[in-house]
Amino acid sequence: MDTLIQQIINGLSLGSVYALIAVGYSLVYSILLFSNFAHGGFLVIGGYICYYTLAAMGHNIWLSGLLAMVGAGVVAILVERLAYKPIRERTNVTLYLLIASMGMSIVIENIFVVTVGGRFRALPPVIPTDPVNFFGLATTSAFDLLSLGMAVLFLAALQIFLSKTKWGLAIRAASYDLRTSGLMGVNVNRLISIVFFVAGLLAAVGGIFLSVRYTLYPQLGFITIKAFVAAVIGGLGSLPGAVLGSLILGLAEMLTAGFISSQMRDLVVFGMLVLTLLWRPSGLLGKQVSEKV
Amino acid sequence: MTEAQNQKQPLLSVRDLHVSYGAIKALRGFNLDVYPGEIVCVIGSNGAGKSTLMNAIMGNVKKQSGKILFEGKPLEGQSFQVVTKGLSLSPEGRKVFAPLTVYENLMMGSFPVNDKEKVKKDLEWVYTLFPRLRERRSQYAGTLSGGEQQMLAIGRALMASPRLLLLDEPSLGLAPIIIKDIFKELKRINEEGVTILLVEQNARQALLLSHRGYVMQTGQLVMEGDAKELLHNPEIQAAYLGTGKKAH
């Protein structure tokens, strides 16, 4: 029983970090309709900014976290402006964007390999990882509870942004029909920049928690594959779907690790992807609003 | 010449407008004037270039040459900039945001308006014009009927507080009785001070509503004049209205 509750908490914690990454990825997908493979790069940039500012400016995780978020958000905007905007202004074929994003992913990864090197780095112990007794039911770590709490906080903030603000409404409209939202007076280029900023910012939060969990290295961005899988399981382009898929994935991974074998977790993850694609290719909450003709 | 034409400078002037899609010429030197307070229609068959004209005015497609003047000033920039200058478009096929509610769709229409009081007033006006929209304000736009979606598309365009309302095929795919309703509201919108330019395949309804009309064929202007006169012109009757005797 103890193990079960403990693994559920761990699973939700891991899943909620996946959700931060998957939601940003899904947001970009819903607007521009391509898989942004450079999304993992945003996460790594967030991680490294946090690592170096922690070392340089005293161990203040709040300040470093903020800088990491803003930094990754700005880099995300730059990536879009440099690599994607010239393409989307010339063609509607999203395949080119996909290829460009693979290129940007390689560029970002290798910038870190050549500048700071490929070795594994541990963040200084600024986020507590002590064991915590969870209401006498199970023992878990403070880190898991913290990352779960922070992820919930950021996802709630995103939800409020999307549902209560003018630009949030514009993003929801644009995710249905980008061109028509331009007709409504929305500066589409600015909207896309905002979306990339938000995606980069959320990826940085995920990146910081993942750097603590797994240490930081230039290829840490590959973990985004899990977030892609989560987004597909939940339904590409759907934000609640991305969160749901991430939580399911996190739970499946941790329960597999706890009760079967840690080596089986990826098998389960990709097995779930295959099953989803077989039975429900549009995902659990894929876009399904029907339109009368 | 109508009274309006004698007094004022045109609200919108299109001069020698050329637009191409690659090798295909959609507009070949089109001219048009819309005076304040008028309802003007452009009629023509499918593929004549009517929607291209609308998209060129709204900055959605690049013009090759020619001039588009709004209140005497050249209309330039992308569609999001054009909207802020006082004209808005209800696009062909309605293009409502299906996963947003009716209210949210209308709020999208008011995106360029920063004055909250003005938005409130416009919303009340749109709800008065189309009471159906008020009833369904929290319903998803994708669940509305075709007629209701058209009302929403027009209401959404009105939320931008335009002086010139552009309508691209407002009768498309709708039952005759609903078309009548919608055109009645268009008349009312015009009487409350909004100038209207509409392009239509439904020539009869469009000419009945309008003060003046333009006839477009393969991207060119072939005839223009008083709407009533066009309605009774034998050539127009034969080609676009399906009534009257063949012209030859």
Return the domain boundaries, chain B.
1-86+162-248, 95-160
> How far apart (Å, rounded) are the C-alpha atoms in residues A290 and B142?
6
Chain B within 8 Å of A74 (Cβ-Cβ)?
Answer: no
For tokens 């500048």, name the residue: A115
Alpha carbon of residue A163 to chain centroid:
20
Please state, for a pLDDT cut of 90, what percent of chain A lies above it: 72
Q: Are B55 and B93 in contact (CB under 8 A)?
A: no
Query: From chain B, which residues contact A within 8 Å (Cβ)?
Result: 58, 60, 78-80, 83-84, 88-89, 91, 95, 97-100, 104-105, 107-109, 111-112, 140, 142-146, 149, 156, 160, 173
| A293 within a domain of the structure (yes/no) | no
* Contacts with B199 (C-beta within 8 Å, 6 or more apart), sequence order: B41, B42, B43, B44, B50, B51, B53, B54, B167, B168, B169
**A230 contacts A18 by C-beta, under 8 angstroms:** yes
In a domain, A131, yes or no: no
> Does the pLDDT of residue A211 top 70, yes or no?
yes
For residue A208, the enclosing domain spans 2-121+141-279
On whether residue A135 sits in a domain, the answer given is no
The total number of structural domains in chain A stands at 1
Cα distances (angstroms) measured from residue A1 to each of A8, A12, A106: 11, 17, 44
Mean pLDDT confidence for A4-26: 92
What does the pLDDT average to over A53-68?
A: 91
Dihedral angle over CA of A275, A281, A287, A289, nearest 10: -110
Structure tokens at B146: 């075709």
Chain B residue at shortest CA distance from A173: B97
Amino acid at the residue B111: F
- Per-residue pLDDT at B241: 78
Q: Which pLDDT value is given to residue B248? A: 47
A166 touching chain B per CB within 8 A: yes
Q: Domain B1-86+162-248 adopts which CATH fold? A: Rossmann fold (3.40.50)
- Residues B166 and B195: their CA atoms lie apart, in Å, by 9
Which comes out higher in pLDDT, residue A237 or B165?
Answer: B165
Let me know the angle formed at the C-alpha of B232 by B226 and B234, rounded to the nearest 5 degrees: 120
Q: Comparing A283 with A171, which gets the higher pLDDT? A: A171
Between CA B203 and CA B182 the distance in angstroms is 15
Cβ-nearest to B99 among A176, A186, A293? A176
Check if A291 contacts B (Cβ < 8 Å).
yes
CB contact under 8 A, A291 and B78: no
Alpha carbon separation from A288 to A237, B97, B137, B154, B229 (Å, rounded): 11, 14, 21, 25, 49
Contact B166, B41 (CB under 8 A): no
pLDDT of B94 reads 94
Q: Do B108 and A181 touch (CB under 8 A)?
A: yes
Amino acid at A45: I
Cα separation of B57 and A86, whole Å? 24
> Which residues 6+ apart lie within 8 Å of A81 measured at CB?
A193
Question: How much is the mean pLDDT over chain A?
Answer: 91
Chain A residue numbers touching B84 (CB-CB < 8 A) = 185
For residue A70, what is the domain's CATH number?
1.10.3470.10
Looking at residue A108, its amino acid is I
Please state the three-class secondary structure of chain B as a single string: CCHHHHHCCCCEEEEEEEEEECCEEEEEEEEEEECCCCEEEEECCCCCCHHHHHHHHCCCCCCCEEEEEECCEECCCCHHHHHCCCEEEECCCCCCCCCCEHHHHHHHHCCCCCCHHHHHHHHHHHHHHCHHHHHCCCCEHHHCCHHHHHHHHHHHHHCCCCCEEEEECCCCCCCHHHHHHHHHHHHHHHHCCCEEEEEECCHHHHHHHCCEEEEEECCEEEEEEEHHHHHHCHHHHHHHHCCCCCCC
A171 belongs to a structural domain:
yes
Q: Dihedral angle at the C-alpha atoms of A166, A171, A172, A176, nearest 10 degrees? A: 140
Domain assignment present for residue A245? The answer is yes
Instruction: Say yes or no to pLDDT of A291 above 50.
Output: no
- Residues in B touching A183 (Cβ below 8 Å): 58, 60, 79-80, 83, 88-89, 91, 95
Determine which helix (DSSP H) or strand (DSSP E) holds A60, and give its type and residue range.
none
Edge-to-edge order in the sheet of strand B195-200: B87-90, B164-168, B195-200, B39-43, B212-217, B220-226
Q: What distance, in Å, lies between the first and last C-alpha atoms of chain A? A: 53
Question: Which tokens go with B36?
Answer: 């304040």
- A131: helix, coil or strand? strand
Cβ contacts from A onto B, under 8 A: 80
> For residue A6, what pLDDT is reported?
87
Question: Does the residue A217 lie in any domain?
Answer: yes
Closest CA in chain A for residue B141: A291
* Residue predicted with more confidence, A3 or A67: A67
Are the beta carbons of A169 and B108 separated by less than 8 Å?
yes
pLDDT at position B139 is: 96
Letter string b/e over residues B173-198, b meaning 16 or more CB atoms within 10 A of that residue's CB: ebeeebbebbbeebeebbeeebbbbb
Which of A77-91, A279-293, B48-62 has the least mean pLDDT?
A: A279-293
Chain B: closest CA distance from residue A182 (Å): 5
Residue B42 burial (C-beta neighbours within 10 Å; 0-12, 13-18, 19+): buried
CA distance A169 to A175: 10
Q: What is the pLDDT of residues A114-142, one digit of tens each?
A: 999 889 998 888 888 788 887 777 788 88
Task: Determine the Cα–Cα distance for residues A60 and A53; give it in Å rounded to an integer.
Answer: 9
Distances from the Cα of B176 to the Cα of A60, B96, B145, B146, angstroms:
69, 21, 14, 12
pLDDT tens track, chain B, 248 positions: 455 555 678 999 999 999 998 888 999 999 999 999 999 999 988 888 999 999 999 998 889 999 999 999 999 888 999 999 999 999 999 999 999 999 999 999 999 999 999 999 999 999 999 999 999 999 999 999 999 999 999 999 999 999 999 999 999 999 999 999 999 999 999 999 999 999 999 999 999 999 999 999 999 999 999 999 999 988 888 888 776 554 44
Tokens of B82: 């054009």
The token pair that represents B46 in the structure block: 């499918």
CA atoms of A158 and A19, how far apart (whole Å): 12
Residue A62 lies in a domain: yes
